[in-house]
Amino acid sequence: MSVDYATVEASYDRCLEDGDFFDTFYDKFLAKSEEIPPLFAETDFRKQKQMIRMSVRMLVRLGLGEDGTKLAINKLGESHSRRQHNIRPELYELWLDALCESIKQHDPQHTPQLEQQWQDTMHAGIEMMVSMY
């Protein structure tokens, strides 16, 4: 199945409408593994939520080939590499699981097909980031 990035982006916009999407996401993500909460021990979540909001948007738009998205994902991958935040590649699947669970909860138009579109969309960017580890 090919990805309809406009559909994924519309889903993301619906998720953001109530303002609680990233609260849900971080509740779910931090509960995925005891390894995750210490990674956020010194985190200003107000800033973190602004950063992830833009990062997810860039991951969605990567598939559209928009100018600057590849560079943005490369910078994100570098910041998450072993040289900086040292985010192990295995944690990305937990991140994606938490994201998809949050989408299911916040997008009233969620379907299994839409979730697969999200999975396919995110995997392209995640693979780029993991390659930089």
pLDDT in tens, the chain (133 residues): 688 999 999 999 999 998 999 999 999 999 999 999 999 999 999 999 999 999 999 999 998 887 788 889 999 999 999 999 889 999 999 999 999 999 999 999 999 999 999 999 999 999 999 998 9
Domain count, the chain: 1
- Structural domain span for residue 47: 5-131
Q: CA torsion angle for 87, 93, 99, 101 (degrees, to 10)?
A: -140
Sole residue written with tokens 């953001």: 16
User: DSSP class of residue 37?
Assistant: G
Compute CA distances 41 → 36, 63, 115, 130, whole Å: 9, 32, 30, 23
Report the CATH number at residue 37.
1.10.490.10
